[in-house]
Structures are given as C-alpha cells and as structure tokens.
C-alpha cells in the first residue's frame, strides 16, 4: 500500500524587496506555492524569503498573501 500526499493549500503572495534597507527603489515580487498543511504566518514568510527572493536583496517587506484551500 502506498500513501500519496497531495498539497492542501495554495498561497498566492506579493512582497516588496530592495537591495538596501534604506533604499526607496523597491521591486514587487509575486508568486504562488502549495503546501501540504496550513502554514503559520512565519512559515509563509520563510517560504517566500527562502525560495522566491533573489539573492542580494536584504530588505523584504509588505508581505501579503491569500490562502486558498485546494
């Protein structure tokens, strides 16, 4: 018998990034990802920061997301 796990949630997100904390020239990052369980706010921010923010951008703010139950 094989257990199959399928994602249960999708998170559509946006945030703004800049290369410096004092920079006013910010870029908007948009994307989405799926998860097997409902994530906490900190887990969502970690997932975005680790997997969707280009390296070299040390300032990340204005996190917004929509949680969708699949």
- Residue-level pLDDT, tens digit, the chain, 70 residues: 888 889 999 999 999 999 888 777 899 999 999 999 999 999 999 999 999 998 889 899 999 999 999 9
Sign of CA dihedral 12, 4, 43, 50: negative
For residue 2, what pLDDT is reported? 84
């Amino acid at each position: 018998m094989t257990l199959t796990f399928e994602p249960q949630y999708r998170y559509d997100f946006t945030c703004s990034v800049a290369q410096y904390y004092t920079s006013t020239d910010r870029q908007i990052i948009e994307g989405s990802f799926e998860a097997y369980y409902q994530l906490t706010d900190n887990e969502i921010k970690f997932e975005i920061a680790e997997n969707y923010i280009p390296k070299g951008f040390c300032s990340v703010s204005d996190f917004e997301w929509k949680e969708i139950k699949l």
